């Protein structure tokens, strides 16, 4: 069954102050979207938009819970690492307030020998 069109869809966001908002006058353009065709509706739903503000809030909270769980698992794994590796993780994570789930691998390869210049 297709929804009545045009319809308004909702998305919850984390505001710059850290508060989760859905239908808020200061963030209306980022949290609401009017779709006019069935194709646009299906694309928006696939991108995380919801038919009701409560559903949008629940989706964002579920995503935040997933990130928190992954960070907790990562922290538990970090305890089994060597001290230098733990220091590297702590140093990388100190630059952000977000959960750090993965640290990019640093290339340990040394630059090669300089090329010979032939005259």
Whether 46 is covered by a domain: the verdict is: yes
Tens-place pLDDT, residues 44-88: 999 999 999 999 999 999 998 998 898 888 888 888 988 888 888
Tens-place pLDDT, residues 14-48: 988 888 999 888 889 999 999 999 999 999 999 99
| Residue found by looking up tokens 């992954």 in the block | 70
77 lies in which domain range?
Answer: 7-93
Q: Are 15 and 21 in contact (CB under 8 A)?
A: yes
What distance in Å separates the CA atoms of residue 79 and residue 56, rounded to the nearest whole number? 35
The two three-digit tokens of residue 104, written as one number: 């990019």
Whether 118 is covered by a domain: the verdict is: no
The helix/strand/coil state of 66 is helix
Whether 116 is covered by a domain: the verdict is: no
Whether 107 is covered by a domain: the verdict is: no
Q: Distances from the Cα of 59 to the Cαs of 44, 55, 118, in angstroms?
A: 14, 6, 64
Q: What is the mean pLDDT of residues 90-101?
A: 75
Whether 98 is covered by a domain: the verdict is: no
Count: domains in the chain: 1
């Amino acid at each position: 069954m297709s929804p009545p069109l045009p319809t308004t869809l909702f998305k919850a966001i984390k505001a710059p102050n850290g508060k989760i908002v859905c239908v808020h006058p200061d963030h209306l353009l980022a949290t609401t979207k009017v779709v006019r065709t069935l194709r646009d509706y299906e694309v928006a739903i696939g991108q995380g938009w919801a038919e009701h503000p409560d559903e949008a809030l629940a989706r964002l909270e579920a995503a935040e819970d997933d990130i928190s769980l992954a960070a907790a698992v990562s922290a538990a794994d970090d305890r089994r690492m060597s001290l230098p590796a733990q220091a590297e993780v702590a140093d990388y994570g100190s630059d952000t307030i977000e959960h750090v789930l993965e640290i990019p691998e640093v290339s340990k390869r040394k630059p090669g020998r300089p090329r010979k210049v032939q005259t």
